[in-house]
Amino acid sequence: MDKKLRRAVIAGNWKMNKTPDEAVALINEIKPLIADADCDVVACVPYVDLFVAMEAARGSNLKIGAENCHWAEKGAFTGEISAAMLKAIGVEYVIIGHSERRQYFGETDETVNQRVRAALDNGLKVILCVGELKDERLGGITEEIVRKQTKVALANVTEAELANIIIAYEPVWAIGTGLTATAEQADETNGQIRKVICELYGKDAADKIVIQYGGSMNAGNADELVARYNVDGGLIGGASLKAPDFAAIVKAASK
């Protein structure tokens, strides 16, 4: 399959950064820089920024996402936000299973699956994060880890629903550390994830699914990473908070 048949997605993960005013300012800076993008562009922002971010992005090619959602529709889950709530205010994308959620907030493959299910049931597009720890890579079990994370996260997800799933391969040791996986490592692991999709859903689904790389992707290394056959764009943390850097990554994915 020609890689060009998959449309790359560059998504920013703002994490716990930017007040609503700052969010509007950053979006206004980003918009003109990505107007000609030949890939999909998303900014995943803190919950409190969603309304103003969607308003600021209206009429542009920048789409807005959230950084997490709960699996229940409503109820006694203090501090949580449901997929139904995100859908109700017009949010399009949601990141699920980010390693920081797994590391600091007790997220497991099983709760990731529950959140994925809820997001799909509410018509959201999911950016599903998987990736190994440093010790797991050094121990030679990266493929095993991403296989399990992918399989469990996608339990009870149909082939048709896969159209609303993007997988972001994010080696945990590369997130926010300045250490980037080599283009070979990213391509290889993304290929292993594509193989899992092939086993679960068949070749057509595997050829079509968008698999991003994430982990210290920046204006300097994006070209090489996104040029790889199995790397369909990126999930970008730090560099998504600087409009010119984010735009340079979008440009690399548009080639």
Residues of this chain that bind ligand PEP (CB under 6 A):
13, 170, 175-176, 214-217, 235-239
Kindly state the smallest distance separating residue 214's Cβ from ligand PEP, in Å.
Answer: 4
Kindly state the smallest distance separating residue 186's Cβ from ligand PEP, in Å.
Answer: 12
Closest CA to 171 of 222, 137, 120, 210: 137
Kindly state the smallest distance separating residue 126's Cβ from ligand PEP, in Å.
Answer: 14
Q: Whose Cβ is closer to ligand PEP: residue 13's or residue 192's? A: 13
| Pairwise CA distance, residues 172 & 205, whole Å | 26
**Two structure tokens written together for 45:** 């922002």
| Pairwise CA distance, residues 128 & 95, whole Å | 6
Q: Whose Cβ is closer to ligand PEP: residue 206's or residue 243's? A: 243
Kindly state the smallest distance separating residue 202's Cβ from ligand PEP, in Å.
Answer: 29
Other CB atoms within 10 Å distance of the CB of residue 25 = 14
The residue type of 23 is A
67 is an active site residue: no
Kindly state the smallest distance separating residue 1's Cβ from ligand PEP, in Å.
Answer: 26
∠ CA 252-92-25, nearest 5°, is 65
Q: Whose Cβ is closer to ligand PEP: residue 173's or residue 201's? A: 173
Instruction: Report residue 107: phi and psi, to 5°.
Output: -65, 135
Q: Whose Cβ is closer to ligand PEP: residue 201's or residue 213's? A: 213
Q: Whose Cβ is closer to ligand PEP: residue 72's or residue 183's? A: 183
Closest CA to 213 of 127, 112, 96: 127
Is residue 189 within 8 Å of residue 149, measured between CB atoms? no
Catalytic residue among 70, 98, 132, 136: 98
Other CB atoms within 10 Å distance of the CB of residue 114 = 17
| Pairwise CA distance, residues 98 & 180, whole Å | 17
184 is an active site residue: no
Report the residue closest to ligand PEP, judged by CB: 237
Give me the active site residues, please. 98, 170
